[in-house]
Every structure is written in C-alpha cells, then in structure tokens.
Structure 1
Amino acid sequence: MVGQDSLSVPLQSHQDFLWTAQIQIGTPPLNYTVAVDTGSADMWLDASIFNTSASSTLDKTHQAFTIRYDMGEVSGYIASDHVSLQGRKVENQTFGIATNISDANIPQGVQGVMGMAGQRLSRLQATPFWQNLPLNRSIFSIYLKSMNQSGISAVPSDGILSLGTMNESMIAGPFNNLATVNPDTWSVPFSGINVSNHIVQVPFNTNAVIDSGTIMVGGPRNAIEEFYSQFDGASEIRGEPGFFSFQCASVPQVYLAFGNAQYKLKPADLILSEAQYAPDDRDGQPDSDDFKCVGSFFAMDAGTSWIVGGSFLKNVYTVFNNEMPRQIGFAPLNAKTFESEVLPVGLPSNARLLSPSHWILACFVAALYIFRS
C-alpha cells in the first residue's frame, strides 16, 4: 500500500527494451526521462537534452566523471540541483551531465539514467537519488509489463516502480527471498537454467546481478553455448560474437533457478528480434523453419557471474530490500495474462511452440548494463 512516505511511479517501456520514469530537475522544475537501472548507482542526464541555463539552483562543479559500460562509455562533468519524483524533492542531489555518450546504444527518448544500486558503486561518489528520498522503508519493487502482453488491467502504464513499499495485490504467492552477496550490487546466488528438462548447471557460488538496465541475460560462454544447443537451428551470429540465432518457430521452455525455486520465461522473452528470413527449399515458399530469431541470452567471455535483466524480470514481481538483511525477493505475478509461473526445483513439462505472432518481435540487439570492473 502506498502511503505518505512511499511512491508508486509509472514506468514507460521503450520498445520492450528499457523502462523509464519521469523526474523533475531544477528551479523551475523541468521534466526528464531516465532509465531505471538497478545495475548502476549514478544519475546522469544527456547534455544535449539538459538545459543548464534553465535552472536558477543548478551548481556546476566542473569535476569530471566517466562511467564505463560494457558497450561504450559516458563522460562529462558533475553538477547538483533539486531533483523531484512525483512531488518529493531532494535538494542539491548530485548527478552527472554527460557531454560524451559513445556506443552506449541508448534508445531514442531516453535522456539519462537513474541508478538504483549502492553508493560504493557510484562513479560520482554520491548517494543514489532513491536513497535520499524520504521513504518509510529502504526498499523498492519493480513490475515490468511485456510489450506483447495486456498486463494487469488495473495498471495502465508499462510498469510500476514502487519506492518504500511493495504492491501486494500484484503477487500470487510467497516471496522467494535471497540474500545479496555484495553490500552494493543487487547480486544474488544463481542456481542454473532448465531448458526443456536439460539442466545447464553452474558452479557452486555462482552469482547473478539482477539488472533492470538491460533486457538480456548474459553468462559465461560455455554455459550459453550449452543453453543454445537445446534450440533448433541455433548458431552464433557472424560478426556479432556472443549473440545467437535460432529457428523462431520452435522455442523450448526455459526456467531460471534461484534458491529453491525456478521461474518460467515466456517464449517471447527469449527473443530479441527477427534476425533473417533464410528459405531452405527451392520453391521459395516461406515455412516456419525459414525464420531465424536473435536470442535474448548472450555469451560473456570474461568472468563466471551472470547478468539477469528484463527478459526474466517481466515474469516475476521483484522487491529490492536495502534493509538488513539485504535481499532480493521474487514472487509470481497475480495475473493469468502473464503466465507467471514458479515451481519447486525439478523438471517442467515438454516444450511448446512459439506462435507466429512472435516471429516479428523487434528489439535492439544491444543492452545497457554497467561494466563492473
């Protein structure tokens, strides 16, 4: 329930790839659209959008900053000003003004980032904005609506960010609470993947960063290659190392396992986009196996940890609890439309076909997630 010291913020989906909220900055306050990113800690605005002369309370420090992403980087200078979210104001909030954004693949209409991770991850050495808000509890929760799903009828937006609270009406079962493995990242133990009864095992003490700043799921190359070995016609895309395509017409059931439960992903959430039409017969007539799709799971050549983004988060309700003990909780969504499903660790039923309407699902073959070095 939302009270005086909690907020319920509508989110906007950008091509089912990134989810944003509206904030206000300056005096007088102006609106800006920022990505909600649990994988980073800093707030920054694109200098080409942010009007530095429009606010009488803006303080430019001219101290430089750089945030390196796995795909590009952002750099500029540090400033502070009044920042508000649904009328709740934080005075003199530190944020970055990005004068250079290189290869970060940020969708049009997204004007910056609002980081939701811990302060020690901050490249600006600043307290994250959400932690400066006057909230009754140091928690936030996220619901993301799939672009191809009608979603919860009572929720007209593309998602909800609840600050200081959670929306219990959206969940259909108990939370699976997992202690974070780091005091600043939203990282929890990861148990592996179930692909139509084939278990992709991960080493003991494997961790996954739960990252709303990307749509994709990334893991070590050997595990991702084993994952795609269960997809018909799967192969790595030439010129796009780490990304794989497969036949759109037949997609196996996929479950991600956390703790003592595993969660089913909708078939559409395994697809980033249609990659190509490649007929395999001479009559030129399109068959279901002629369509290749780009997968939302990708291979990272370095490290053993995983990044788990929106492809998973769209299938659960997630609470990020910054209180002690610090933890993340997953719960099934309270709507049949979502096909949200949680079950004890075990083997699910056989795979099912992906409907033709999903063959043309389009998203970016790029992701915004923080390079954690």
Structure 2
Amino acid sequence: MFAPASLTALLFILLSQDVSGAPTASTAVVGRSMPIRRLNPLSRNLTLVAQRARNQRDLLAVKYSGQSLQQRGTGYNLIVNQETDTGYYGTIAIGTPPVSYDVILDTGSSDLWLTSSTCGASCGTSPTYDPAMSSTFQNLSTPFEIQYGSGAVAGYVAEETVQMAGFSVAKQGFGVVDALSSAFNTNPVSGIMGLAWSSLSSTQQTPFWQTLASDGSWDSALFGVQLTRYGNVSGAAQNEPGGVIDMGYTNSSLYTGSIEYHDLVGTPQYWEINMSELTVQGNSIDIAGISTAIIDTGTTDIAGPASAIASIYAQIPGSQAGTGQLEGYYTYPCSTTVNVQFNFGGNTWSMSPADFTHSQASTTECIGAFFISSIGQGGPSWVIGDAFLKNVYSVFKYSPASVGFAALSETAIAQNGVKAAVPSPTIGAVTAVTGTVSSGALSSRPLSILLCFWLASTSIAFLFW
C-alpha cells in the first residue's frame, strides 16, 4: 500500500500534468509532459555486470571521441546494453495511421531511428516499423551506417509524421534500420530519439525537439527532465514510473527556487557546459581548473579523467581499482556513505549517496558510478549522466543555448521508489502540428506518450547496472 504522503504526491502529479498530450480548452500553444517509464535490472550477476561496465566504458569512446565520430549518431550506443533493463525510455507515434514505438531518449545524440520490418531476425523481438502501413512514408533513398566497437546499424533515411507529447512534426527525417548487429537486440525498445543538436546528426536531419523549439510550437523553447530513483529500493518491478519530460515549459511543481542556467561551450552540438568544482567527502578534487562536461540523459553513470577519478576514490578508504572487464572502474566498501557535490559556476549541487553506487560486486563491495573516461583527446573532460541528473530538475534550452538545473521539490522527491503502475501509450490528436500533414494523418484519440530515459538508477549510457 502507498503511504499517505506518497499517495498525495502522486495524485498531485496526476492533477498538475497533462500526461495524455490531449488538447486543452485553451487555444494557445502550450507545453506538454510525458511520463517517464523506468526499466529495472533483471540480473545482478557479477560477470554480466562487469561485461556491461566494460561495454559502457568502450562505447563512451565511440560516442564522444574525435570530430569524425561526432558526426555520427553515436547515441545508438545506448541500445547495446538495453537488454539489461536499466534505463529510461519513452514512446513516440509515427506514421499514418500512427503506431507507437518505445525509443531511448538521449540528449547525447541527435538522430531518430527505428528498426524496420525488413530487418528480420537480427532485429530481435521488438516491434518494427513497416513503411508499407503508412500513407505518409517517404523514402529519401539516402543510405547511412553507424559502426560501433561491438557492432553496427545500417539502413536508409526517410521522412514520416512523428508525434510525441501532444506535438506532431510532418516530414520528420529519420533512419530506417534494416541491418542490425545482434548486440543491439533490445526488447521492447525499437530505436532511439536523439535530443542533442542537428550538427551531430548522422542522417543530416533536424531533430524533432529542435524543429518544435525553433518554429514557435512551444510556449518556451526548452524541455525539462525529472528522473526517479529505484536503485536503492528492494523488490522494485521490472517497469516503474521513471519521471517526466516537459516539452515547451518547465513544471514548477517539480522544482523549487530558480533555475540556474549555464551557456553551452562553443557552437551547439552536445549539451556541453563548463564544470568548475567537484568535491567528494568534503574534499575538493583537482579537475585542472575549469573542465567541460556533457549533460547526457543517455548515460547512466559519470565518466571523467583518470587522475580525477583516482582522486575521487582516494577519499574513500578501502577503494580499489578494477581489473579485467572492470578496468577503469573502482570498487569500494558498500558500508561507506559517499557524498559528492558538483559546481558548474554557480550553486553547489549534491548527489545522493545512493546514486554513487553503480552496482554491488559482493555482499560487502560495491562498484562506483564514477569511472575513467576512455574518450581521449578531442572529447569532453566529463560526461555527466543519470547518476547526477536524478538529483536535479534539468532544463535544456534552445535560445540562448544552455543547460539549467533546479532543486527538486518535495513533490518530485516523493516519486522516488514509489511502486506504481506505469501509464500506457495511446495514439491520437495533437495540440500543435509542424509542417504539412496529410488528411487523416491524425486520429481523434488523445496521444499519450511515455517518455523514458533509460537507465535510471545505476549505469551509463549502455546502461549498466
């Protein structure tokens, strides 16, 4: 049974947010919210955890290293370990008539892609997109391919009508994947929606969010994200409420005080900002002055330079550097409460000790959420993922291009660990339409999209628990 306070908080959330995306009585263009669904890990086998940790480490290098890789939709990397059920994902509706698909929502990449019905057994058992079933499909006949350390995805670029959170974009460019390495098989996820900037797009298409932010479809040209925490909850179900993404506005019920914004570094590509200070157990960690950090919802943990990561664990007695598949990670006594604080040039933001634990290696030893980045030269100093983002309300702003943080409200905090049913996606009418939509493209039923950032609780972009 729910505790009275938790039930009250949940009722307040339901009353304060439009989870269906259905039109409201107002004629003005408004923002919309999508609930986030979280997948919980199904296994805590150490060998499997170590393998996922290794993949997370290796795939991070592919995602962020070098200019040649930056032009690839490396957010696809997030799919590699999706079968570990340790992420947040959401649902979009695509085509005419619209069909819903679960996708990873990733601020660290910029492409939308779905597996195709022609993909065959290599695409696993997740639902696949069938172009023949949609009257608004248009094949642009432009091939694309993404190569990763553990496999590849390939296909062609097309255009379709895409709906999400009560908004619709006609002729949205996306990738139709008809060849997929087995490492990418991930049920129930059918693809990924990148939420970074168009300059990173491997398909050379404008991301869904950027179209809406730039053409006035949103009241405010930004989107906000709140993620829930279940990593420290025993007996959590496979699917749990994961939080929310607010498109076109910030939800004041989920944060307190003001939002502290930080301008992006250089020309917008990733959501990259300066990080000025990091403390662990009250001690300052040498981060070589001001370092840059990418704010990445598609990364579970936090990656940083080897020297800084070593300094972090030096503050924790009993810590040891990992070897083999755990190379780049550290273990530490689970009995130790680790307090971490970040500063990006303004307020100091604390991270819950529960989020410092990536996973448990034994009854007494835990794997830390901070690990050594393998990005190398040309990449960011830090990649800040969900281990931190669960502790703040995050805002991604189109103009001026910036990332904002605000303290979570009691309403938001009360959602952590609450065992409740997750909403189901429905398909239907939208409140704002961009581009030309063919007659009959939209049905009359409300569009309810589940947005889910994968990885809640412990793991990184390839979510590893």
Category of TM-score, reference length = shorter chain:
0.7 to 0.9
1:213-237 CA deviation, whole Å, 9 max, x = no partner? 0111001111111111222322222
Report the counterpart of residue 218 of structure 1 in structure 2. 303
- After TM superposition, give the deviation of residue 130 of structure 1 in Å: 1.4
Question: Could you state the TM-score of these two structures normalised by the residue count of structure 1?
Answer: 0.80
Deviations 1:270-303 (A, max 9, x none): 11211134xxxxxxxxxxxxx1111111101324
- The correspondence for 1:207, drawn from 292, 312, 328, is 292
- TM-aligned CA deviation for residue 9 of structure 1: 1.0
Corresponding residue to 2:35 among 10, 17, 20: 10
Higher helix share: 2
> Which residue is equivalent to 1:50?
128
Which ranges in structure 2 are unaligned for 5 or more consecutive residues? 1-16, 19-27, 42-85, 117-122, 234-239, 415-455
Contact in 1 for aligned 2:165/2:247 (Cα 8 Å): no
Deviation at 1:338, TM superposition (A): 3.6
Contact 2:254 2:412 survives alignment (8 Å): no
Is the 8 Å Cα contact of residues 8 and 162 (structure 1) preserved in structure 2?
Answer: yes
Structure 1 residues 134-162: Cα deviation after superposition (integer angstroms, max 9, x where no partner): 22322111011112579xxxxx9421111
Change in CA separation of 1:99 and 1:276 when aligned onto 2, cut-off 3 Å:
farther
Distance 1:103 1:243, change over 3 A: farther
Amino acid at match of 1:127: T
Q: Does 1:145 align with 2:221?
A: no
CA drift of 1:108 comes to 3.5
Structure number with higher relative contact order (C-alpha < 8 Å, ≥ 6 residues apart): 2
SS in 1 for 2:209: helix
Partner residue, 1:88: 167
- Counterpart-to-counterpart distance in 1, 2:387 and 2:457: 12
Counterpart residue number, 1:332? 407
Higher strand share: 1
Post-superposition shift, 1:102? Answer: 4.3
Aligned: 1:135 with 2:218: yes
Distance 2:242 2:149 in 1: 27
Q: CA RMSD in A?
A: 2.7
* C-alpha deviation, 1:68, in angstroms: 5.1
Note if 1:59 corresponds to 2:138: yes
Decide which of 386, 390, 396 is 1:320's aligned counterpart: 396
Q: What residue number does 1:178 align with?
A: 262
Question: Are residues 1:262 and 2:341 paired?
Answer: no
Is it true that 1:243 corresponds to 2:243 in the alignment?
Answer: no
Q: Is the 8 A contact 2:231 2:355 kept in 1?
A: no
1:274 is matched with which residue: 338, 341, 360? 360
Aligned equivalents of 1:317, 1:160: Cα separation in 2: 10
1:297: which partner in 2?
370
Write out per-residue CA displacement over residues 42-77 of structure 1, whole angstroms, 9 at most, x where no aligned residue: 111133332323223222334222345677553322
In 1: Cα distance, 2:389 partner to 2:188 partner: 22
State the SS of the aligned residue for 1:111. strand
1:27 corresponds, among 84, 96, 106, to 96
CA contact (8 A) 2:161 2:168 kept: yes
Contact 2:106 2:193 in 1 (8 A): yes
Count of aligned pairs: 328
- 2: CA distance between counterparts of 1:71 and 1:137? 39
Structure 1's 104 and 327: CA in aligned 2 closer, same or farther, altered over 3 A? Answer: farther
User: What is the CA-CA distance between 1:337 and the residue it aligns to?
Assistant: 7.6
Q: 1:250–1:128: structure 2 CA closer, same or farther, 3 Å change rule?
A: same
Deviates more, 1:59-68 or 1:297-306: 59-68
Alpha-carbon contact 1:26-1:55 (below 8 Å) kept: yes
Q: In structure 1, the residue corresponding to 2:324 is in which secondary structure?
A: coil
Aligned partners of 2:114 and 2:129 also within 8 Å: no
- 2-side partners of 1:262 and 1:75: how far apart? 43
Write out the 4+ residue segments of structure 1 that deviate beyond 6 Å after TM superposition: 103-106
Cα contact 2:254–2:411 (8 A) shared by 1: no
Q: 2:222·2:398 contact (CA, 8 Å) conserved in 1?
A: yes
Q: 1:112 aligns with which of 191, 194, 198?
A: 191
Give CA deviations for 1:103-156 in whole Å, capped at 9, x if unaligned. 866754222111111111111111101122322322111011112579xxxxx9
Are 1:191 and 2:276 counterparts? yes
Using a 3 Å threshold, how does the CA distance of structure 1 residues 233 and 332 change in structure 2: closer, same or farther? same
CA shift for structure 1 position 243 = 1.7
| 8 Å CA contact 1:191, 1:201 repeated in 2 | no
- In 1, Cα distance between the equivalents of 2:40 and 2:403? 26
